[in-house]
Copies of this chain bind each other. A is one copy, B any other.
Amino acid sequence: MAGPGKVVTLSGGIGGAKLVLGLSRKLPPGALGVIANVGDDFSHLGLHVSPDIDTLVYTLAGLADPQQGWGRAGETWSFMSALAALGGPSWFRLGDGDLAMHVLRTHKLSNGTTLSQVTAEMCAALRIATKILPVTDDPLRTRVRTDQGWLDFQDWFVGHHASLTVREILFDGADAARPLPAVLDALADPDLRAVVICPSNPLISIEPILAVPGMREALAGCKAPVVAVSPLIGGRAVKGPTAAMLTDLGDAATAAAVAARYRDLIDGYVVDEVDHVAMKQLDIPAIATRTLMITLADRERLAADVLAFADRLRVAS
């Protein structure tokens, strides 16, 4: 007898997209939805850049650069060279092929198309069966307070190489943002099998999603099990500033500390096998498995482990 079939994830960029890809390959086409972070979005040279959505699109379309995890494989850089010669800004690098996404998105947005609709059109063009849903179509921008004052996220992350100590994080616009109706529908779907919080940076990838009013309630009220995967392995992030940001903000850089941030939302937690001792001190159901995703097989295997764990939680509840 078949159980419910849909799976929804919450994801930021690179790390989350790896698991999303694994899940997409373990599920029937169209069964997977991704609630994507838009807090990293910004306007650069007048172009609307959505880094996390772009990484999800490239990853799911098989276009992603396998080395760096973001951007397109086989990218060329003529635009940046010409821009530099014209005296334009070079701190944020836009690849030639990547520009197509930004230019087309910006053009469609300026004509009144929503970000979710633009994303759906691009996914359709690239034959991506997974639904990529921006958590909101309203403006929501992550900002970071440092000893140099408040900085836009990309200014801090790319412009300053994430090197300035983070004192505070703000999700500008979140209070007035409305969750995408399709996001609420997906979380309320009676056919929902599981919700998976991807191993993304909790502070700047997952919490901007949760900051949209109604999102925490929708997750807490969700009938399907909600499972989070730790982004930290033995206290370190695979990539990116997660560990440093947690300690900067006075939290511990541990899998347990991340679980605590999700406590009121999750029914189960997945840690890496190196964290199996710490796992036993958690007060929620947890499993330890290999969470490092190097190969495509790694992604599929972790996806299968997460789904099996969620299914056990559902049956047990």
Contacts and interface: CB of A to CB of B under 8 A. Distances in A.
Interface in A28-52: 45-47
A79 B106 contact: no
Interface in A125-160: 125-126
A5 B150 CA distance: 54
Interface in A18-72: 45-47, 72
A99 B122 contact: no
Nearest to A94: B103
A84 to B, nearest CB: 8
A96 interface: yes
A126 B86 contact: yes
A71 to B, nearest CB: 11
Which of A46, A79, A103, A107 has the most chain B CB atoms closer than 10 A to its own CB? A103
A87 B46 contact: no
Contact of A79 (B97, B107, B124): B97
A82 B106 contact: no
A96 B83 CA distance: 10
A108 to B, nearest CB: 9
A76 interface: yes
B72 A75 contact: no
A224 interface: no
A119 to B, nearest CB: 11
A181 interface: no
Given A45-B107, A46-B110, A99 B97 contact: no
A173 interface: no
Q: Taking the full assembly, how many copies of this chain does it contain?
A: 2
Contacts of A82: 72, 96-101
A99 B87 CA distance: 14
A313 B100 CA distance: 53
A81 B96 CA distance: 10
A88 interface: yes
A125 B46 contact: no
Given A78-B96, A79-B100, A100-B79, A122 B86 contact: yes
Contacts of A264: none
Contacts of A98: 82
Contacts of A101: 82, 86
Contacts of A86: 100-101, 104, 122, 125-126
Contact of A103 (B83, B104, B125): B83
A121 interface: yes
Given A76-B96, A78-B97, A97-B79, A125 B47 contact: no
Contact of A97 (B45, B46, B81): B81
B83 A100 contact: yes
6 contacts: A75-B78, A76-B76, A76-B78, A78-B96, A83-B103, A86-B125
- Listed from nearest, the 7 A-B pairs whose CB atoms lie closest are A82-B100, A78-B96, A82-B97, A96-B96, A87-B125, A46-B107, A83-B100
